[in-house]
Amino acid sequence: MSPPLTRAALAALDAADPLAAFRNRFTLPPGVIYMDGNSLGALPNATPARVAEVVATEWGQGLIGSWNHHGWIDLASRVGEKIGRLIGAPAGCTVVADSTSLNVFKALAAALELRPGRRVILSQRGNFPTDLYMAQGLIRHLGGRHELRLVEPEEIPAALDDTVAVLLLTHVDYLTGRLHDMAAITRAAHAAGVLTVWDLAHSAGAVPVDLAAAKADFAVGCGYKFLNGGPGAPAFFFAAPHLHAHMRLPLTGWLGHAAPFDFDGAWRPAAGIAQAIVGTPPILSLCALEVGVDIALEAPMAQVRKKSLRQTALLAELVGQECAGHGFRLVTPRAEPERGSQVSLAHPHAYPIMQALIAAGVTGDFRTPDILRFGITPLYLGYAELWDAVRILRGIMQAGTWRETRFHARQAVT
């Protein structure tokens, strides 16, 4: 048994942290320990000036000419290409487009068409709701000939049979933080003739992803979590190179056309991944996303992963050490290969406890039915903050502060 953790030991890790300087690249409010970067990432210092430039100069002065002169017309591809580097995508396979939900729809629709004899979309019970909702909407829309089949994670390999067209999985589970073995599962899927759609919402910028090595078919993901792209930042879409010439996407907008400004009567897909762009992208939000992505590209992923694993392990250990007997149960896997960049704790009173934590300056979030969720963003979260957060949690549990009525009023949170 190792000696108890101390604040001094954690502060020493901060002092030796090779990523420590990244903290100064972000603005965070004073008095807040921010552990909700898996819901909304923090603001990069460089973002306000970049957004102000886009608004005042590119839009205000350049007006319509900025589509050419400031490269707006290529922005979805340019930022997509950068995200591709974070997720191990070959060049020319990733674009920024729409929302994660809409990109799930595109990928699933394309996959079903590539496997015409098969009628099942396989996914995980408890997958992020919008992924399942989009699959449900698609199936209904296609006349109900397909089926969404949900299984537990450990049942996936056995469920991969020749009725399954496509496997839709979230790489890191939003609720538990469990990380799937993308390469192994994709291999098993392919062995059964099944295509894969990986949702990287909680992976991009947070854990190593190598889509090329895993031979992933489709992937989608989110710009506003670990990429620090800002609220509602547009999402990304990836398709493996060998699919570009064969896939048919259902959402055929003018900016996915081979020649958008020819104003042809008939839609023809742009070569490569650009066919996944639909309408005009929200340029202000897209420029903000680029700032966050640029920072993520500067941070060596091996260091990010090392710190993330250490911080998630330490947080779990600290809760065990400081909050023993208060009824918390660790939900996130202890095994490193199975852990994303978050720690989830189950507790029967998770909601008011999280509200009390937030009021005390520790921002995590609640997820129904009983989960306290703490996102770990190594670029701006320090080791000593983990100590402080857990001591605040301990204080709340000891004093019973969470029982106050004001912490029980439910609010929408995202």
Residue 225 falls in the annotated catalytic set: yes
* CA-CA-CA-CA dihedral for 80, 81, 84, 86, to nearest 10: -100
Which residues 6+ apart lie within 8 Å of 78 measured at CB? 71, 290
Binding track over 130-169 against a copy of itself, x by CB under 8 A: x-xxx-xxx-xxxx------x-------------------
Q: Coil, strand, or helix at residue 345?
A: strand
Closest by alpha carbon to 74, among 264, 287, 249?
A: 287
| CA neighbor of 135 nearest in space, from 181, 87, 103 | 103
Please report, as residue ranges, which positions from 343 to 402 form the binding site for a copy of itself (by CB under 8 A). Answer: 358, 363, 365, 367-368
Among 4, 18, 29, 90, binds a copy of itself (CB under 8 A): 29
Q: Candidates 2-10, 187-195, 281-289, 324-332 — which segment interacts with a copy of itself by CB under 8 A?
A: 281-289
Mark the segment that binds a copy of itself (CB under 8 A) among 67-75, 87-95, 210-218, 342-350.
67-75
Judged by CB under 8 A, the stretch of 51-59, 190-198, 203-211, 334-342 that binds a copy of itself is 51-59
Question: What DSSP state is assigned to residue 54?
Answer: I
Query: Alpha-carbon distance 26 to 67, whole Å?
Result: 29
Does position 405 interact with a copy of itself (CB under 8 A)? The reply is: no
Contacts of a copy of itself in 176-205 (CB under 8 A): none
Separation of alpha carbons 262 and 241, rounded Å: 26
Whichever of 241 and 253 has its CB closer to a copy of itself, that residue is: 253
Q: Is 373 a catalytic residue?
A: yes
**β 371-375/365-367 pair status:** antiparallel
Residue from 152, 161, 162, 264 touching a copy of itself (CB under 8 A): that is: 264
How far is the C-alpha of 154 from the C-alpha of 132, rounded, in Å?
Answer: 19
- Give whichever of 151 and 313 is closer to a copy of itself, judged by the CB atom: 151
Q: Is 366 a catalytic residue?
A: no
Q: Which of 106, 118, 225, 367 is catalytic?
A: 225
What burial class does residue 152 get, using C-beta atoms within 10 Å of its C-beta: 0-12 exposed, 13-18 middle, 19+ buried? exposed
Give the C-alpha separation, 357 to 16, whole Å: 28
**195 touches 111 (CB < 8 A):** yes
Nearer to a copy of itself by Cβ, of 10 and 345: the residue is 345
224 catalytically annotated = yes
Which one of residues 156, 216, 286, 318 is an interface residue with a copy of itself (CB under 8 A)? Answer: 286
Mapping DSSP to helix (H, G, I), strand (E, B) and coil, where does residue 49 land? helix
Size of the residue set binding a copy of itself (CB under 8 A): 93
Backbone angles phi, psi at 345, to 5 degrees: -120, 135
Which stretch, 5-13, 128-136, 311-319, 345-353, contacts a copy of itself (CB under 8 A)? Answer: 128-136
Residue of the chain from 5, 25, 33, 47 that contacts a copy of itself (CB under 8 A): 47
Token pair for 170: 């979230």
**Distance in Å, CB of 13 to a copy of itself, minimum:** 24
According to the binding rule CB under 8 A, does residue 107 interact with a copy of itself? no
Helices 301-322 and 383-399: angle between axes, nearest 10 degrees:
30
Burial class (CB in 10 A: 0-12, 13-18, 19+), 389: buried
Q: By CB under 8 A, name the one of 12, 15, 324, 413 that touches a copy of itself.
A: 413
> Which of 13, 20, 46, 99 is the binder for a copy of itself (CB under 8 A)?
99
Q: Choose which of 92, 193, 208, 253 interacts with a copy of itself (CB under 8 A).
A: 253
| Interaction of residue 73 with a copy of itself, rule CB under 8 A | yes
128 a catalytic residue:
yes
Q: Is 322 in the site for a copy of itself (CB under 8 A)?
A: no
- At its nearest, how many Å lie between a copy of itself and the CB of residue 23? 15
Between 68 and 398, whose beta carbon lies closer to a copy of itself? 68
Give the nearest distance from C-beta 95 to a copy of itself in angstroms: 14
Residue 330's SS3 state is: strand
Task: Find the part of the chain contacting a copy of itself (CB under 8 A) among 158-166, 184-192, 273-281, 332-340.
Answer: 273-281
Q: Which class for 235: exposed (0-12), middle (13-18), buried (19 or more C-beta within 10 A)?
A: buried
Residue with tokens 């998770």: 350
Of 341, 342, 367, nearest in space to 354 by CA: 367
**Among residues 34, 218, 226, 351, which is the contact residue for a copy of itself, using CB under 8 A?**
34
Catalytic residues: 128, 199, 224-225, 373
